[in-house]
Structure 1
């Protein structure tokens, strides 16, 4: 069953030690869409060290609630690679690219991954939500509330966001504060 795989992976992640190993670099690898599980299986069968952060997702239907685990960062798996292992990874035919790393960027990544591991442990008890960073100037859409369906631009970001909605036809715009939970980032 799909969820059993992710539960086992979650247990492995809790025991995973993410540290610098000479001759190797922790590297973010971008997978093809919805290929994280197959890529992790490939890495496992080829004795490669990897980390796929997971989070609990809860879906509520009319009469029942279903909990399952999904990748925390859709499309990304973190692998411990050198040049030879990267060539092996390419043979999986499941990746799009990798981010270029050096020793300094790897140190920063390891710190971030250790923080992500702490979040992942938190995800065992409660649901966490991963969102793209909303910065000033980002285009967003309102997904709930009275402004649902409208789109605009983030003006400032605190507990509430100032959203500006442009009425291009009139050459005018209106601004209001809206709860951050009610918006989503446009691509």
Structure 2
């Protein structure tokens, strides 16, 4: 049986406000594997517009570590605390981190319409970069979108998925 101190998982950590990028760099300098999901957004200033990369989840980033590295993370400048769920340090399954990475690396965001699926219904993604993942369908202003949850963060990620790429999860 493997030693639990050597078992690596992805953990969400809470950072100081607007310090996600600097904190990620501080962790990398300590040899900690970090994932900071970023999204490009167009920012307007009084004299110009510019595309910038902003964190997808404000004040959160993900660290890949074992139990024996907790202290090293908490002692890093910019880290506020680990996220807890039901009294224990929360972790994110590898599959969800991979899904998030795959989605953010993709280019296409097609609008979709469903006739046979209903709001709240669980669906399974059957092709594309997110193949094999399950999600919940939600309705949003006459459009249908797939929502994938990162439960440990208490946040949800709304994704546009091609209608031909999903089926009801019970099939």
**TM-score normalized by the length of structure 2:** 0.52
Aligned residue among 159, 162, 167 for 2:140:
159
Alignment pair present for 1:78 and 2:58: no
- The structure with the largest strand share of the pair is 2
Q: Quote how far apart the aligned CAs of 1:110 are.
A: 1.9
- The structure with the largest helix share of the pair is 1
Distance in 1, Cα, partners of 2:76 & 2:45:
37
1:59 alignment partner in structure 2: 43
RMSD: 2.8
Name the larger-Rg structure.
1
Structure 1 residues 80-137: Cα deviation after superposition (integer angstroms, max 9, x where no partner):
1223311011111322221248xxx75x6322211211221136x78xxxxxxxxxxx
**TM-score normalized by the length of structure 1:** 0.48
Give the number of equivalent residue pairs: 105
- Indicate if the aligned counterparts of 2:13 and 2:79 stay in contact, CA closer than 8 A: yes
2:9 alignment partner in structure 1: 25
Mark the runs of 5 or more structure 2 residues left unpaired by the alignment. Answer: 1-5, 110-137, 143-171
| TM alignment of 1:1-187, pairs within 5 A | 23-60=7-44, 64-100=48-84, 106=91, 109-122=93-106, 158-160=139-141
Mark the runs of 5 or more structure 1 residues left unpaired by the alignment. Answer: 1-21, 127-156, 162-187
- Structure 1 residue matching 2:93: 3-state secondary structure: helix
